[in-house]
């Protein structure tokens, strides 16, 4: 980047609005953006009705909900009650909300003429097939016309489209781990004319993947020294993965997926089994993964060494290792569900859209304890 261009970017810093700041993804998004050199202001907007009365008295501080932010944030402190008018002038809007919220608001802001870049961390824009929203999530989409203009925010595979997008649908954490984990293998298979007979995904996730809900199976007493299978192939991320496999690679292999809750706060480890119709050339598979890793900073290929959750905690990396035996390939894919699986990838997409280095704000040190 030329020095004059760099100076221009520094002068034209971004104003960001974060809708839904109190959840896990909201907090991670705020943390990353607060250290982003090109973000000048972060506006926090709450959809909670409880904030209406509070705002009439005094705006609640984010540190009341997230005490770890005390004496930490320089660009933000107060939470405001959401209204469309407050989004005026935002360079980008991050929706860190639960399902069936963002699409309604985006519909209204488009009607009002607000043209901010939208990054939705909820599932409200992930499907191209409008019928899937009712089938998978139980709601009718408020703005079907915007779906076709939306780009799926799986950064490494949709980078060029993200540059031209108006709305980015940030992927689910499980689909990120699965699709990125097997993308080089699928590319190899297609080059060699090999067919994928089936895919089996055995996924294990920390409790933050369920959000900040007060549910019995998320309590320490229940989950400590325990593990729980909570979804089989009916998991809501399976249709998302199936649609993107067809869209990206024009394949529709049987996909069996199992999600398990483990006694960890954050992180996902997926063991992915893939059967090809013929025995592959292992060295060429490795070459495909190595090339993908070289082209994508946050994709880290470990060869035959198998990564663990500890290696990605607190970072925006996805780390992948593989083993091959006959025509069966095992891929181990790990990431931090709150960063590469959510907020980090969202900021990665922000950087791409606004022409910044993809790593800006995201070279985060790992959590060692």
The domain that contains 302 carries what CATH number?
3.30.360.10
Q: Model's pTM, two decimal places?
A: 0.91
CA count, 13 A, side-chain hemisphere, 253 = 21
Per-residue DSSP letters for 187-238?
Answer: HHHHHHTPPEEEEEEEEEE-GGGG-S---GGGSHHHHTT--EEEESTT-THH
Contact 177, 364 (CB under 8 A): no
Rounded to whole angstroms, the maximal C-alpha distance in the chain is 69
Same domain, 137 and 183: no
Same domain, 14 and 52: yes
Active-site annotation holds for 96: no
Tens-level pLDDT at each residue, the chain (369 residues): 454 555 455 557 999 999 999 999 999 999 999 989 999 999 999 998 655 545 544 556 788 878 888 877 777 768 999 999 999 999 999 999 999 999 999 999 998 888 899 999 999 999 999 999 999 999 999 999 999 889 999 999 999 999 999 999 999 999 999 999 999 999 999 999 999 999 999 999 998 766 555 565 666 666 678 888 888 877 889 999 999 999 999 999 999 999 999 998 899 999 999 999 999 999 999 999 999 999 999 999 999 999 999 999 999 999 999 999 999 999 999 999 999 999 999 999 999 999 999 999 999 877 765
- In a domain, residue 351? The reply is no
Contact 199, 182 (CB under 8 A): yes
Q: Which position among 173, 335, 342, 360 bears the catalytic label? A: 173
For residue 91, give the DSSP letter: S
Same domain, 202 and 255: yes
Same domain, 271 and 317: yes
Contact 298, 317 (CB under 8 A): yes
Same domain, 187 and 143: no
Q: And the tokens for 222?
A: 């229940």
- In a domain, residue 47? The reply is yes
The domain that contains 84 carries what CATH number?
3.40.50.720
End-to-end CA distance of the chain: 37
Contacts of 236 (CB under 8 A, 6+ apart): 123, 136, 137, 172
Instruction: Look up the domain containing 265 and give its range.
Output: 174-337
Same domain, 195 and 312: yes
Same domain, 82 and 30: yes
SS3 295: helix
Same domain, 144 and 180: no
Q: How many domains does the chain have?
A: 2
Same domain, 198 and 323: yes
Same domain, 88 and 211: no
Could you say which of 99, 133, 148 is where a domain stops?
A: 148
């Amino acid at each position: 980047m030329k020095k004059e261009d760099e100076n221009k970017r520094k002068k034209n810093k971004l104003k960001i609005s974060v809708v839904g700041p109190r959840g896990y993804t909201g907090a991670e998004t705020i943390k990353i953006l607060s250290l982003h050199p090109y973000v000048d202001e972060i506006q926090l907007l709450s959809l909670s009705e409880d904030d209406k009365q509070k705002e009439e008295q005094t705006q609640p501080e984010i540190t009341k909900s997230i005490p770890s932010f005390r004496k930490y944030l320089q660009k933000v402190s107060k939470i405001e009650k959401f209204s469309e008018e407050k989004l005026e002038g935002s360079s980008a809007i991050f929706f860190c909300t639960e399902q069936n919220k963002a699409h309604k608001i985006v519909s209204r802001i488009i009607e009002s003429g607000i043209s901010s870049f939208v990054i939705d961390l909820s599932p409200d824009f992930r499907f191209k097939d409008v019928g899937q929203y009712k089938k998978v999530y139980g709601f009718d989409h408020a703005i079907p016309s915007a779906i076709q203009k939306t780009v799926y925010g799986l950064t490494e595979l949709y980078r060029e489209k993200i540059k031209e997008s108006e709305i980015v649908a940030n992927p689910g954490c499980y689909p990120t781990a699965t699709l990125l984990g097997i993308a080089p293998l699928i590319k190899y298979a297609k080059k060699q004319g090999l067919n994928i007979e089936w895919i089996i995904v055995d996924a294990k996730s920390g409790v933050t993947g369920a959000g900040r809900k007060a549910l019995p199976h998320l309590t320490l007493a229940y989950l400590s020294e325990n593990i729980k299978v909570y979804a089989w192939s009916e998991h809501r991320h399976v249709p998302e993965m199936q649609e993107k496999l067809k869209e990206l690679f024009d394949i529709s292999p049987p996909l069996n997926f199992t999600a398990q809750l483990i006694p960890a706060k954050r992180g996902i480890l997926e063991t992915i089994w893939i059967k090809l119709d013929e025995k592959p050339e292992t060295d060429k598979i490795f070459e495909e993964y190595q090339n993908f890793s070289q082209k994508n900073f946050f994709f880290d290929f470990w060869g035959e060494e198998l990564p663990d959750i500890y290696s990605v905690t607190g970072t925006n990396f996805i780390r992948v290792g593989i083993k091959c035996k006959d025509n069966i390939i095992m891929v181990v894919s790990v990431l931090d569900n709150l960063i590469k699986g959510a907020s980090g990838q969202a900021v990665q997409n922000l950087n791409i859209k606004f022409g910044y280095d993809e790593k800006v704000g995201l070279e985060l040190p790992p959590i060692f304890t």
